[in-house]
Amino acid sequence: MYAQVKYDIKTYKHTIDSDNTQIKNKLWKRYLLRVRTQKENDIKYTFLLMNPSAAVRNKSDRTVNKVIKDAFNDGAGIVDVVNIFPFYETDSKKLGKVLDKINGTELDIIQKENLEKIELSIKSSIKSGGKVICGWGNRPTKLNKSNMKIYNSNLNCIKNILSEYSEQLLCYDTNITSMPSHHSINAMISDNTHSHKRGLPLLIYFCKFLNPLPNVLATYFLQQIRSIFNSL
């Protein structure tokens, strides 16, 4: 494991489930991390990220602490963290090397199980009245042709799952390739804004890869949203 930190007890109450398991020496996977926040309700948010970094049942990482805090500030009582790839790796540039260590049949089984967990998490979040927040960011670099096929296949399967829930599907922002940005690069939801304290919507963008907008129109909407925040 890598860069583990303590869970933030101001927003985190306890871990409900963390199914991290060892595949082989120094190679771990996690399909689902589910935690309860300090909010006393059963509204659940699902965060769909790229891959696990370090968080387990009794230890967190900076990304997980951040999404728990954001969900807590938006009123959620439960948080799910799922990933396009279920393999632990802090540096996404090394994901290709991780994939190369797993034989094809085993990899297919793991990826199928991971997609099933993602779909179940999304469905239960929607049923609870919660939201689905995409934040997997840019495509991992240094993927060979074989691993690119795996990545694209995963993404297509996930898009098919997400397309059923466009009204509840949000992201922090979108990057230049129209993929949902990782939370850490988004200034609109940063700790120095008043969005949480004022009870404004935590996540304000529909994922553009599901709801494409012309660049001019998207820029106009972004300017309007920023003007609202600046006027508070």
Q: Any long-range contacts for 181-185 (C-beta under 8 Å, 24+ apart)?
A: 181/135, 181/137, 182/49, 182/50, 182/63, 182/135, 182/136, 182/137, 182/138, 183/63, 183/66, 183/67, 183/70, 183/135, 184/63, 184/66, 185/137
Q: What is the pLDDT of residues 92-106, one digit of tens each?
A: 889 999 999 998 899
Mean per-residue pLDDT of the chain:
81
- For every residue of 53-66, DSSP letters joined together read -S--SS-B-HHHHH
* Residue appearing with tokens 């094809």: 104
Q: Does residue 196 or residue 67 have the better pLDDT? A: 67
* pLDDT (0 to 100) of residue 194: 31
Q: Are 118 and 82 in contact (CB under 8 A)?
A: yes
Residue 180 has pLDDT above 50, yes or no: yes
* pLDDT (0 to 100) of residue 213: 36
Closest of 9, 36, 4 to residue 20, by C-alpha: 4
Q: Are 18 and 56 in contact (CB under 8 A)?
A: yes
The two three-digit tokens of residue 10, written as one number: 């101001």
Closest of 224, 178, 225 to residue 202, by C-alpha: 225
**Rg value, the chain, Cα:** 17
Q: What percent of the chain has pLDDT over 70?
A: 76
What mean pLDDT comes out for the span 135-145? 88
Residue 220 has pLDDT above 70, yes or no: no
Name the pLDDT band for 120 (thresholds 50, 70, 90). very high
Name the pLDDT band for 200 (thresholds 50, 70, 90). very low
Closest of 141, 145, 152, 47 to residue 89, by C-alpha: 141
CA distance 222 to 219: 5
* pLDDT (0 to 100) of residue 171: 81
Closest of 57, 44, 51 to residue 16, by C-alpha: 57
* pLDDT (0 to 100) of residue 184: 55
Residue 5 has pLDDT above 50, yes or no: yes
Closest of 7, 33, 1 to residue 19, by C-alpha: 33
Residue 189 has pLDDT above 70, yes or no: no
Q: What is the pLDDT of residues 18-30, one digit of tens each?
A: 999 999 888 999 9
Residue 4 has pLDDT above 50, yes or no: yes
